């Protein structure tokens, strides 16, 4: 418990003891009514002074119809009608509920607080042969940082010396440590477990993985679900309406029957019940808990509106390369025409020297020596054109060759075919194969079991896409699509789908279709910055099996929200009617307000523990 919560608990205990003493005095001592009023005012002000102050302050600022106003009006009215015990007990019970609520909300924030702990406080940078401890945002791209066992990796980079195992559980939800060697990429926020490693930074701190994750989570609360917005609008109309109804309950029957005390008491019960705090607190809390629980498992949902949309997903559309496949390509065959194998690889790898596409990486890995290209132009959906040693080199797919008027033979191979031309002449092709991720088929199977359709949209050649689709088991696949072709196909799928359509991608060319989809899901660990920016959901460890888990979390969270709404409205509606009829006592009204809120809040916390 926090210090504030402990103080609140002490106030509640002291007030309860004073209430018991006052009740005992009333039952054993014969005194005028004002004496009883005074001895009950002591426990009342002890436990409720802050509620009265908040109510007065809010009224002064024009915010009248909140729970503090309702509790103040109801309890003060109870004193005027002679219900001293009830007045103190109602305020006491309310504060007990507020304490439980505060503790419950605090627990729901643990996941987010734990996530915030991944932010590194400092970085040990090696400058001029000396180690300097500086703030992470002072480290430049390309500098060397030293990370010892037990320390956090401050900035994304590549290991240049040493080997170790890293704990990435706070980022990805994966408990198994990741072993890294020289040349391996590492992400900020990871905890070094064993050896000392030196890392060359590849991004500034503000663009590192840890900074992006924290930004995504911190901004998630600003994007509300439709249910949240409805509850907010509902409360603004509902509360003044029930206050007006309470006034009518107090005045109309009293004027007819003359029983002012009885009907004012009923109106006060009606007021206490009317407070919509169970809905106003529990609904946002459930979404917050769901987002926090998902983040602890490596699923970053940018807002409750996306979580709500994810729950209605009827079809998941995948990009292939880097999403369902590892994106780790290997050159499997080299077929030169009029040049040697080495020369073909040299020209292709040189042209692709600055491309971040996985195919370019595989070409550079296969070729030991490359030239410095000039006049580089990357054509989205086709390939790269560049000048290499004075030759105009084009390296890409069959569409590029056709556009450039290069006579290239059609090649049918189990992999991606990279065509290479120099000075307008076809000089050969290179076949590159990708490997399907181990959990891709599992993810598709889980989606199908949940009644969700699966589709692949890819710019790769038909034979490679069909092969992957068959192995993974998707319902349909479309190949050789340019970025605009993916968007057009996504439009068609959305128009034909009964539910929301999610798209999962990782590349720059996926950004347009990620934005067009009802829910965009980006592979965050290896995915491009553009894809992560355009997406609504980010998977920090690139595992497709997290997609059905994300949908499961969203569906269970929205189910909890519906449970809270239905439960709150039924209980409140019943007690409102019973209170107006004079059947429900004040304590039942307090239960319908504070008790229901506590139950709804405890129910909301379950969203944090969905696996």
More confident residue, 446 or 332: 446
Entry pTM = 0.63
pLDDT tens string 356-407: 777 888 899 888 889 999 999 988 778 899 999 999 999 998 889 999 999 9
Residue 279 banded pLDDT, cuts 50, 70, 90: low
pLDDT given at position 15: 92
Q: Where are the alpha helices (DSSP H) in 335-439?
A: 341-351, 358-366, 398-404
Arithmetic mean of pLDDT over the chain: 82
For the record, the structure tokens of 610 come out as 């969905």
Active-site pick, 319, 541, 542, 593? 319
Mean pLDDT of 317-339: 86
pLDDT tens string 539-595: 877 789 999 999 999 999 999 988 988 888 888 778 778 777 777 776 676 677 667
Q: Percentage of residues in the chain with pLDDT exceeding 90?
A: 28
CA distance 437 to 58: 57
CB 486, CB 520: distance < 8 Å: no
**Strand 537-539 vs strand 299-301: parallel, antiparallel, or unpaired?**
antiparallel
Q: Is 319 designated active site?
A: yes
CATH 3.40.50.1000 for the 304-326+436-535 domain, yes or no? yes
Q: Is 175 exposed, middle or buried (0-12, 13-18, 19+ CB in 10 A)?
A: exposed
Residue 600 banded pLDDT, cuts 50, 70, 90: confident
pLDDT given at position 526: 47
Q: List phi, psi (to 5°) of 519.
A: -135, 120
For the record, the structure tokens of 570 come out as 């039924």
Please provide the CATH number assigned to the domain covering 330-433. Answer: 3.40.1110.10
More confident residue, 369 or 278: 369
CA distance 399 to 410: 11
More confident residue, 11 or 611: 11
User: What is the four-CA torsion angle of 226, 227, 228, 234, rounded to 10 degrees?
Assistant: 110
pLDDT given at position 198: 94
pLDDT tens string 440-466: 999 999 999 999 999 999 877 787 788
Phi-psi sector, 600: left (phi>0), alpha (psi -120 to 50), beta: alpha
- Closest-CA residue to 535 (of 506, 558, 555, 560): 506
- Closest-CA residue to 186 (of 169, 204, 165, 207): 165
pLDDT tens string 220-270: 455 555 665 665 566 667 667 777 887 888 888 888 888 887 788 788 777
Residue 520 banded pLDDT, cuts 50, 70, 90: confident
SS3 270: helix
- C-alpha angle with apex 509: 323 to 495, nearest 5 degrees? 80
Residue 274 banded pLDDT, cuts 50, 70, 90: low
pLDDT given at position 114: 53
What is the dihedral sign for C-alpha 592, 595, 598, 601? negative
123-218: what fold? 2.70.150
pLDDT tens string 118-156: 667 789 999 988 899 998 888 999 999 999 998 888 888
Give the residue extent of every domain in the chain: 3-110+222-288+556-609, 123-218, 304-326+436-535, 330-433
For the chain, what is the largest distance between any 2 Cα atoms, rounded to a whole number of angstroms?
A: 116
pLDDT given at position 158: 93
CA distance 324 to 512: 19
What HEC string does 86-122 produce?
A: HHHHHHHHHHHHHHHHHHHHHHHCHHHHHHHCCCCCC
More confident residue, 160 or 538: 160
CA distance 346 to 371: 8
Distances (CA, A) of 336 to 333, 432, 501, 534: 10, 14, 43, 40
pLDDT given at position 232: 59
């Amino acid at each position: 418990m926090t210090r504030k919560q402990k103080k609140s608990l002490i106030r509640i205990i002291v007030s309860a003891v004073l209430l018991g003493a006052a009740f005992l005095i009333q039952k054993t001592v014969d005194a005028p009514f004002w004496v009883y009023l005074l001895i009950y005012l002591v426990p009342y002000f002890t436990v409720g002074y802050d509620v009265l102050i908040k109510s007065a302050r809010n009224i002064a600022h024009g915010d009248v119809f909140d729970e503090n106003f309702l509790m103040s009006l109801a309890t003060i009215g109870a004193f005027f009608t002679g219900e001293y015990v009830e007045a103190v007990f109602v305020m006491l019970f309310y504060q007990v509920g507020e304490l439980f609520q505060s503790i419950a909300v605090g627990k729901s924030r643990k996941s987010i607080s734990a996530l915030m702990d991944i932010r590194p406080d400092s970085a040990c940078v090696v400058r001029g042969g000396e180690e300097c401890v500086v703030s992470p945002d002072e480290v430049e791209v390309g500098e060397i940082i030293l990370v010892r066992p037990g320390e956090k990796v401050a900035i994304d980079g590549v290991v240049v010396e040493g080997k170790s195992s890293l704990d990435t559980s706070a980022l990805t939800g994966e408990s198994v440590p990741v072993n890294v060697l020289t040349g391996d990429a590492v992400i900020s926020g990871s905890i070094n477990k064993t050896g000392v490693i030196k890392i060359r930074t590849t991004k500034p701190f503000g663009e590192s993985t840890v900074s992006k994750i924290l930004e995504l989570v911190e901004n998630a609360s600003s994007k509300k679900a439709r249910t949240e917005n409805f509850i907010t609008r509902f409360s603004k109309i509902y509360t003044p309406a029930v206050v007006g109804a309470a006034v009518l309950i107090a005045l109309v029957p009293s004027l007819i029957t003359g029983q002012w005390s009885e009907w004012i008491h009923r109106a006060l019960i009606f007021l206490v019940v009317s407070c919509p705090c169970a809905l106003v607190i529990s609904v946002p809390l459930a979404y917050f808990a769901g987002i926090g629980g998902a983040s602890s498992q490596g699923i970053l949902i940018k807002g409750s509106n996306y979580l709500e949309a994810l729950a209605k997903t009827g079809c998941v559309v995948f990009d292939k390369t880097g999403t369902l496949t590892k994106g780790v390509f290997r050159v499997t065959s080299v077929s030169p025409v009029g040049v040697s194998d080495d020369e073909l690889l040299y020209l292709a790898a040189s042209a692709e020297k600055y491309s971040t596409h996985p195919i370019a990486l595989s070409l550079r890995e296969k070729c030991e020596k490359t030239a410095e290209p000039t006049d580089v132009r990357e054509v989205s959906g086709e390939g790269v054109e560049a000048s290499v040693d004075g030759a105009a080199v084009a390296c890409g797919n069959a569409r590029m060759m056709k556009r450039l008027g290069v006579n290239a033979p059609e090649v049918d191979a189990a992999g991606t075919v990279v065509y290479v031309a120099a000075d307008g002449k076809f000089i050969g092709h290179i076949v590159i194969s990708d490997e399907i991720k181990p959990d891709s088929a599992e993810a598709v199977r889980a989606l199908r079991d949940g009644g969700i359709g699966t589709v692949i949209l890819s710019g790769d050649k038909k034979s490679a896409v069909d092969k992957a689709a068959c192995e993974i088991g998707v319902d349909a696949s479309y190949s050789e699509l340019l970025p605009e072709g993916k968007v057009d196909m996504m439009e068609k799928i959305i128009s034909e789908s009964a539910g929301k359509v999610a798209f999962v991608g990782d590349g720059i060319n996926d950004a347009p279709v990620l934005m067009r989809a009802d829910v965009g899901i980006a592979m965050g660990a290896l995915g491009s910055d553009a894809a992560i920016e355009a997406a609504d959901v980010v998977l920090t460890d690139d595992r497709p099996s997290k997609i059905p888990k994300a949908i499961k979390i969203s569906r269970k969270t929205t189910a909890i929200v519906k449970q809270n709404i239905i439960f709150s409205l039924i209980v409140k509606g019943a007690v409102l009617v019973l209170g107006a009829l004079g059947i429900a006592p004040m304590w039942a009204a307090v239960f319908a307000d504070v008790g229901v809120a506590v139950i709804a809040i405890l129910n909301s916390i379950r969203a944090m523990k969905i696996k």
